Amino acid sequence: MTDFEFYSLIIRIIGILIVGSSLFLAAIQVRSLSRNHKDNHEWSRRIETQKAFDEIRNMDLQKLNESFGFKYRREPIPLLEVKSTFEKDWHLEKQCIRLLNAYEGLAAGVKLGIYDEDVIVMN
């Protein structure tokens, strides 16, 4: 083996080691970026869940609560009571529909993976 062949072989081995270590570092970075992306996604889901829940909290439900007392009620509201109250005041029916639509939106968001169920349960 001549000196040229020897040095050429050493240069090739060094090149292979550099390329191999570069591929290894790239794999580590891709895995790290994947974890960071997943964490950011989870964090964003929790923030959006809080925003959606805050919209429900900011709804004006005082008149609805005065009529049914649902905030402190532990048993279901009888259907006849609901019907008679809605017949007397159709604005209450509108508020109730808005509230139910908001909760349905939260449920659909949880089912689709948009909202975080744990955040909703804690609130």
Q: Which helix (H) or strand (E) holds 58?
A: none
Delimit the domains of the chain by residue range.
3-122
Per-residue pLDDT, 16: 96
Which one, of 5, 7, 62, 42, lies nearest residue 117 by Cα?
Answer: 42
Per-residue model confidence as pLDDT tens digits over 45-99: 899 888 888 888 888 888 888 888 877 888 888 899 889 989 988 888 888 899 8
Measured between alpha carbons, how far is 98 from 85 in angstroms, rounded to an integer? 16
Give this prediction's pTM.
0.64
Q: Does position 24 have pLDDT exceeding 90, yes or no?
A: yes
